[in-house]
Structure 1
Amino acid sequence: MRRFEEQDRALYLELAEAFYHSPAVLHPIPAQYMERTFDEMIRSDLYVDGFLISTDEDEPMGYALMSKTFSQECGGLAIWFEEMSVLPAFQGHGVGSKVFEFMEQYYPSWARIRLEVERDNTRAIKLYERLGYQELAYYQMVKDRV
């Protein structure tokens, strides 16, 4: 795994587009949102980090997207595991577990890693529970600026 670099733009946009047209999300998002995200992760790692998940031979297997914030509730750095997409050919081979292991080491000072998952994505939920994650009983709400 490695951070995305400028030359990975087309690959990232292709992977993100596929993710946002999968059952893992509630709805697709505009392509310009993905472009803005890529621009921001290349500009700075202050808010967002993007990682290419690949084989030892650099064959793309998917990607992971992390956001960072400080949380008073957990008393420190909170990492939001925004997205993880593993291509179908690589699913069920422990890739997701390895990504989580990598992230926990990449951010050594994390106080909480938080994620969200569609309730019907039982395969992902089982993975997260096996890795020690538990449900956080908040009712999440958003207001988007359009």
Structure 2
Amino acid sequence: MIRKMELKDREAFVAMANEFYHSDAVLHSIPESNIEKTFDELMAGSPYIDGYIFECDGEKAGYSLLSITYSNEAGGLVVWVEEIYILPKFQGRGIGKEYMDFVEEAYKDKAARIRLEVEEENERAIKIYEKKGYRQLDYLQMYKGK
């Protein structure tokens, strides 16, 4: 089951996000205060972020964060799949594929584009995304700040 995050999910979200940010799926860890701030933004109803909890066999199995932005290039709203984390014991059960189907359906009338980032070494995820029709962009991403 996929559902919106609720206040009762704070502890589970913080724990899973900490695991995610200490895994090979990311380039570096982040302070727990960032995770707490993100949850607070979700609960405050920010129009720029959506959060989902995955449940399987009556347990919390993972989470995802989506960022919402506008793109002139895309001609409308863009949904960024910021994070997808599935607890190891639930990996390989099709939750990631189910979630990507969910995102595409939930945002089909709202978003002109869905984007995501993935580490080159995460071949398993790349295969899922490619099967779903995602293509690699040849952009070099840059940032300034934290």
What is the letter of the counterpart of residue 77 of structure 2?
Answer: L
**Given the alignment of the two structures, is residue 54 of structure 1 paired with residue 62 of structure 2, yes or no?**
no
Q: Counterpart of 2:96?
A: 96
**Given the alignment of the two structures, is residue 85 of structure 1 paired with residue 105 of structure 2, yes or no?**
no
Q: Counterpart of 1:70?
A: 70
Please report the TM-score for the alignment, with normalisation by the length of structure 2.
Answer: 0.95
Structure 2: how far apart are the matches of 1:58 and 1:143?
A: 41
Q: Counterpart of 1:17?
A: 18
Stretches of structure 2 lacking an aligned partner (at least 5 in a row): none
RMSD: 1.0
Deviation at 1:120, TM superposition (A): 0.9
Structure 1: how far apart are the matches of 2:58 and 2:36?
A: 23
Residue-by-residue CA offset, 1:18-77 (whole Å, 9 max, x unaligned): 10011000010000000010000110140111100112x531110010000111111111
Please report the TM-score for the alignment, with normalisation by the length of structure 1.
Answer: 0.95
Q: Counterpart of 1:117?
A: 118
Structure 2: how far apart are the matches of 1:52 and 1:115?
A: 18
Structure 1: how far apart are the matches of 2:144 and 2:70?
A: 21
Deviation at 1:110, TM superposition (A): 1.4
Structure 2: how far apart are the matches of 1:58 and 1:64?
A: 18
What is the letter of the counterpart of residue 112 of structure 2?
Answer: A
Aligned residues: 144
**Given the alignment of the two structures, is residue 127 of structure 1 paired with residue 128 of structure 2, yes or no?**
yes
After superposing on structure 2, the runs of 4+ consecutive aligned residues of structure 1 that deviate more than 3 Å are none
Q: Residue 50 of structure 2 aligns to a residue in which SS?
A: strand
Identity %: 48
Structure 2: how far apart are the matches of 1:45 and 1:54?
A: 23
